[in-house]
Amino acid sequence: MISYRLLSDYINFLYHSRGKKGFGIHSPFVFQLVTQVVHSSVSSTIFTDIEAQRKLLLKDSTPLDVQDYGAGSQHLKGTNRKVRELAVHSLKPAKQAQLLFRLANHMKSQNILELGTSLGITTCYLAKTGHCSKLVTLEGCPNVAKMAQQTFKKLKLTGVDLVVGEFSQTLPKVLDGFSTLDFVFFDGNHREKPTLEYFEHCLKKKNNQSLFVFDDIHHLPEMKEAWEQIKANPEVTATIDLFHLGLVFFKKELAKQDFRVRF
């Protein structure tokens, strides 16, 4: 159920945000990103294959014993879940997953990290981007990770490094293996303190072109607070709040400014 707070935040967001034509956005970089990448109608056969796999997962009633290390699901309780329930509640919808694909392509991201694999759908989108040369995805639950591996196999993705374990244990070691991070998708453990810790760890490997994407920045009060602190970080320049996703840029040539854009 949508909470009153979330609904009121969304109405406030709609009132203060820019539309898809980018009117009122004076940064040429952000204007181009919003009009050509965020709001793009370009489709791809890549999307068809991944979405066909999502459909199979949505019908899959295999039971899974799930360990949840994160903030916990607002919809799913207990540890016994079905694959299809995870597919409904844990995965980013196609619209947002395809946006991640377009963003990583636009930024020509080579070194990509994802925190929160689940069944591997967003990982598949990231793996199919044109410049990706290294992709690591982190998942805490071994049974869920096994399902993601099956998805990668079905879609013939060979270059994905899926690391199983609690983020606080796996992230520092995984980061040692990256010379730099071009694209990071933070999509697990939607709590303030851990999110800020993961962010601080990843900051050490950012470059001028890096893009960090945070999921669900308005959904829980803890994530709202984390988002405020991320925006305020002195290393961060432009940020784009798309309500469900938050985009963070470090380009020194950009002024520090927050944009709210409807998506």
Ligand X SMILES: C[S@@+](CC[C@H](N)C(=O)[O-])C[C@H]1O[C@@H](n2cnc3c(N)ncnc32)[C@H](O)[C@@H]1O
Judged by CB under 6 A, which stretch of 15-23, 26-34, 87-95, 126-134 contacts ligand X? 87-95
Closer CB to ligand X, residue 152 or residue 250?
Answer: 152
- Which residue type is seen at 218? H
CB 178 within 8 A of CB 134: yes
Closer CB to ligand X, residue 64 or residue 236?
Answer: 64
Q: Which of 91, 202, 213, 247 binds ligand X (CB under 6 A)?
A: 91
Is residue 90 part of the contact set for ligand X (CB under 6 A)? yes
Per this entry, what is the length of the chain? 263
Q: Which of 187, 211, 212, 242 binds ligand X (CB under 6 A)?
A: 187
Tokens for 66, please give them.
């799930």
Kindly tell me the sign of the dihedral angle through the C-alpha atoms of 204, 206, 212, 217: positive
For residues 126 and 128, give the distance between their C-alpha atoms in angstroms, rounded to a whole number: 5
Tokens for 129, please give them.
């981007």
What do you get for the CA distance between the two ends of the chain, in Å?
Answer: 21
Judged by CB under 6 A, which stretch of 31-39, 42-50, 118-126, 232-240 contacts ligand X? 118-126
For residues 106 and 86, give the distance between their C-alpha atoms in angstroms, rounded to a whole number: 30
SS3 for 218? coil
Q: Which of 83, 99, 126, 144 binds ligand X (CB under 6 A)?
A: 144
Closer CB to ligand X, residue 33 or residue 99?
Answer: 99
Q: Which of 98, 110, 118, 195 binds ligand X (CB under 6 A)?
A: 118
Residue carrying the six token digits 């991201």: 109
Judged by CB under 6 A, which stretch of 39-47, 62-70, 232-240, 243-251 contacts ligand X? 62-70
Binding site for ligand X (CB under 6 A): 68-70, 90-92, 116, 118, 121-122, 138-141, 144, 166-167, 187-189
